[in-house]
Amino acid sequence: MLFTTALYDRVLIPVARRFTKLDRGISVLYRMGIGLVISIFPTFVAGFIEMKRKKIAMEHGLIEHSNEIIPISVFWLLPQYCLYGMAEAFMSIGHIEFFNGEAPESMTSTAMAFYWISISIGNYVSTLMVTLVHKFSAGSNGENWLPDNNLNKGKLEYFYWLITIMQVINLIYYLYCAKIYTYKQIQIHHKEDNNSEDNNIELSTTV
């Protein structure tokens, strides 16, 4: 996340500024949209990493031994965590810029509070999803996608891909909201005065 933030500030913004003529390089809605697109890939990739993990467990006869260490490098987790960090660099900072720039000044703190509340609600929804998957994914043998006793026999990759599908739906909904959104208008008022010196003072204090 820190690396992406630095890359964004030092490379992406100067390059994008040449084409968009915006001080920020790209708008906050574009920034959050890019973050949402990137966030789809970590869970999608995680499903394939889980399949590889179970394949190695099967090759070493460890499917029935849930407490044994599977000989697979922890660095297989690196791609999905790097992608997630990149997504956060776009989404989280984009959210902060959006609320600071678009929310009324009297409601900036309230808007940020709602942002953190939405994240908290998302965590509870994730717990609900796990509960629903436990209930509705059980097959004829009673094993569901997320078994409690032996994850090697489960279908954790299906759960990851279910989240991926939900993220795609969320992205489509976001694109619709971004399309119909109207940015806050900034009005600049000038006070006219017969005295030129007083007029300069008025302009400097009211712009």
The region, left, alpha or beta by phi > 0 then psi within -120 to 50, assigned to residue 165 is: alpha
Q: What is the pLDDT of residues 38-88, one digit of tens each?
A: 999 999 999 999 999 999 999 988 888 888 888 999 999 998 999 999 999
- Contact call for residues 30 and 38 (beta carbons, < 8 A): no
* pLDDT tens for each residue of 30-41: 989 999 999 999
Cα–Cα nearest to 77, from 109, 53, 112, 105 = 53
Closest CA to 3 of 84, 86, 77: 86
pLDDT for the residue numbered 5:
87
What residue spans define the domains of the chain? Answer: 2-182
- C-alpha to C-alpha distance for 134 and 155, rounded to whole angstroms: 11
Structure tokens at 95: 């959210």
Asked if 99 contacts 115 with a C-beta cutoff of 8 angstroms, the reply is yes
C-alpha 97/C-alpha 110 separation (Å) is 14
